[in-house]
Structure 1
Amino acid sequence: MMNIGEFARLGGITTRMLRHYDALGLLVPAHVDPHSARRSYDLAQLSTLNRLLALKGLGFRLDEIGPLLAEGVDPAELHGMLRLREAELERQVRHQRHTLDRVRARLRLIEQETQMPVETKHLEPITLAALSADSPDASRQQTGAVVQTLFDQVIDRMEAAGADRTTPIARYHPHPTTTPHPTKTTATGSQSNADGAGDPAVRVVAGYALSGEPVPGLDSYTLPATEVAAVLHRGPMNTISVAYQELARWAESTGRAPTTFSWREYYLEAPGDDQSDWIVEVQLEL
């Protein structure tokens, strides 16, 4: 038996909330002193408290939780419900993060109306549901055609699987393998280097942020954490070379050799076929 303060500490909530649950009949103390009215709890009641908090986290109202606790919540069933809720929250976080990136991009566009400033920042690792292919050379004409084909195939397969599409990214890295590459997990679960056979000029990876299970027909690519230099491009993709040139000049001015780097394109706003209002962040991995 333990007092209310000790029980609250173990349960990770406040004593005020325990009194509230007691008043509602959701978690009644094991013992209440008739003279001092001090509440005491059994250690075994932590199981009920954990279920109560889990159901609350799933979005159930307190008046709905009482009957569920009274009926008894099967741990396996609760675990499944929590996993579904976790996946939904992760989806919401991805969408909110992408929305935040778009808002920040708009602010940067306002600030750079007369110039194209280079921003350096750190990117966390990200796993994509993606496909990859080789481009015979690094020209925009060649790589642009490859990335468009890849995205068309990725979208078709994600739609067929009912998978959520957030955070579209394309990555370009040179051959031979003189730079780090993303980890690729194939549909069979094996891992390999992202490069294929032969020695083409550029390997292109295109896909969307992956959450949960792999998407049938798509590979899982983990892009490593890295520092990047980035500029924003607004408008059709056939003019995006301006952004690449700006980053190349910046790299040269800081003593780097841009031909040895990998590049990413983060499509912040790319609605429909009309590219006039597209916003793409071009990122040079450092």
Structure 2
Amino acid sequence: MLAIGEFSRLTHLSVRTLRRYHEAGLLVPAAVDRSTGYRSYDADQIPTAQVIHRLRELDVPLPDVRRIIDSSDPGNRAALVSDHLARLEAELDRTRAAVVSLRRLLDPDPVPLSVELRAVPETGVAAIEDDLEIDAVDAWFAGAMAELRAAVGTPAGPAGGVYDNALFEDGRGHVLLHLPAADPPHRGRVRPVTLPAVELAVATHVGSHDDADITYGELGSWVVANALAVAGPVRETYLVGPADDPDPAAWRTEIGWPIFRMA
């Protein structure tokens, strides 16, 4: 049997941490002296303690650590660890994107934004639309895009979105996702829709969608300085997206800001 101090040195888990794991039922000592409360551990518990140590270094929550330790199924343990690693990788991607965005914002000599004034004619599309909370858009988008592609088959051009101003101003608004089609189908949530003609100031956002707000801000500043913004939904066109290339660096999204052209 090993005293708690010895066990601590062997596992690199502090005495305080070992006590906390005991109280949580995560790593229970092999024996506890009833009169002194001293904890003793078995040498066979060292591998378990080391696994717990590694999992906690990866920020696996204690309830998940307990499920991994308690599971007798290697496949289940591997699945639990893989799920957490996937969450860590997603968080790392978000952190990297935030760093890139911050560097771009703090750049003393930013690359000038290229803006095109474009007259977009009335267009018939296959569309799915709904009123959404802004936090729900990403999940809704994925399902709607899959349903659109299944209904349309081979589209006549890139997918696009139309986003009501209220979505950004109030956190809830109308969203319309569409694919151009010669004969838009009427199937499930998919409906034929005619998008009205519009004048747009268009800029292309390069890279992940997570920092598209920076291009939105730059385009908005350009519009204020060079054109007359009008009340109307913002349009996006997904020239290259996740379905075309898994690398976010290759993604290209056109952002169209409704305007009234001035001389």
Normalization by structure 1: what TM-score?
0.45
Normalization by structure 2: what TM-score?
0.48
Structure of greater Rg: 2
> Greater relative contact order: 1 or 2 (C-alpha under 8 angstroms, separation 6 or more)?
1
